[in-house]
Amino acid sequence: MDPWTALDARHARVADRAIATLFDDPGRAGDFSTTLRSDPLGEMLLDYSKTNIDAETRAALLDLARAQGLEARRDAMFAGQRINETEDRAVLHTALRDLDGSVTVDGQDVIPQVHRTLARMETFARDLRDGRIRGAAGRITDVVNIGIGGSDLGPAMAVQALAPYCDGPRCHFVSNVDGAHIHDTLKGLHPETTLVVVASKTFTTTETMTNARTARDWMMRGGDPARQFVALSSALDRTTAFGIDPGRVFPFEDWVGGRYSVWGPIGLSLMIAIGPERFRAFLAGAAAMDAHFREAPFSQNLPVLLALVGIWHAQICGYPTRAVLPYDQRLARLPAYLQQLEMESNGKHVAMDGDALIRDCGPIVWGEPGTNGQHAFMQLVHQGTRIVPCEFLLAARGHEPALTHHHRLLVANCLAQSEALMRGRSLAEARERLAGRFEGAELDRQAAHRVFPGNRPSTTLIYPQLTPETLGAIIALYEHRVFVEGTILRINSFDQWGVELGKELAAALVPVLEGKATDEGSDGSTRQLLAYLRSHGDLA
């Protein structure tokens, strides 16, 4: 029996089993959790015991990973082989944090260039933070990072996450081509004391370059664009034409995908915010997770186990979504970051050989920080008709020692949510709680509204504290989880052709909106919408 068939058969046998009954085994929690121990990280615990995965199911999932060639593909990625087959590229974001290693691409060790770029970034960040790089009217107080997708979500999420360590200029992020975004960001800043970082590998991304030109016009009111613009791009001809000093251009290689790029030049705004030493700690945390992913047996490997839990829930149990719930306010942007990481990577309908997938692709990823979600969407998660696997993230320690009572309440809520999802509340328990308040049919009616189906799975990741090292490890954990799931599904996780069609159609519509072309090639709905906007909006 092949591993997929074995897992389907296993699910058919256990689908109606209550997860809570698995804890009749007193060793359940320990057997279905694993810990990463590392000098830069301390300890990180992944508990997946509140799922319907038992020893037999886990063994079948591990067999599936091996059968799909996970070990060989993992080693090929780290070795610099061109595993991004549709674009004929290596996949080496891990090299950006492998500062002691050696990785060869096309016969050349890429690590020395990684070191040189990192050193340039560090020199620039130190000079800016120390006031040696200045604006038109003195010290730089604010940095505006203009990018979109991976050129925005990574550094924006990381700067917010590491707020306790941000002692450099204030960092702001602009991504949306909606003029409101750049307008609202710039209106409180001063051109003469602001640095603008334009992040686009090709320097042609429509949203980014539109915002960059608007920022340059704004800068002319009192700043000096020649001194106060930086580019994160490999298109030196275009950055020069834009007016950016070549000495302030930080390129990166085509083997770094956008959503995996926060470790290199795209992370410059983060480095400016927290300083080069802490940025290196961020890299070290990711490198520790890389080493764990490469060296730990699959049965104790955090990325592998997290991925196998995801495969079980999405492809075997058929749960279409996954909620990421960080009980850590500073990780508020992590669910959005993981949305891109996972859905752009594994949101595909064909396998690497071009054939249609035989299983569903990766799930819809969404979430918000706790405890906010408890007063919003957790109603559906607890009592709705669909099962939503949840992934809780929690720090053992906060950064506010004077507010430990807040952290105790946060921890209590996080642990209670996962327990409630699993345990639920039966009709008999609900009736007992309401006895004396209602009788007869009304008691039954009221009790029905207080039933929690339970048997809803979750995982919990506990880390010591949200430090640069920890954040690096968490991001790397999810990067590798996406890679493992993609490998098992035989998806190329490193291209993103799905973003192209909408871009092409948008480019064709711009001349129509400018009155330079007709809408003859558009469908009836689009023509109607265009006509309505011309008559009711500001497009005339």
Indicate which residues carry an active-site annotation: 344, 375, 503
Beta bridge partners of 425: 452
- CA–CA dist 72, 81 (Å, integer): 11
DSSP string, 301-328: -HHHHHHHHHHIIIIIS---EEEEEEES
Contact, 145 vs 269, CB < 8 A? yes
State the number of CA atoms in the 13 A half-sphere of 131 facing the CB: 3
Beta bridge partners of 209: none
- CA–CA dist 328, 105 (Å, integer): 39
CB atoms within 10 A of CB 52: 21
> Strand, helix or coil at 249?
strand
Listed in order, strand segments (DSSP E) in 41-183 are 42-47, 104-105, 108-109, 134-135, 138-139, 142-146, 170-174
- Burial of 274 per CB tally in 10 Å (0-12, 13-18, 19+): buried
- CA–CA dist 503, 206 (Å, integer): 9
Beta bridge partners of 45: 35, 462
Identify the sign of the CA torsion 467, 294, 97, 362: negative
Q: 232: Cβ–Cβ under 8 A, 6 or more apart, which residues?
A: 147, 151, 197, 198, 199, 200, 201, 249, 250, 252, 265, 266, 268
- CA–CA dist 305, 53 (Å, integer): 11
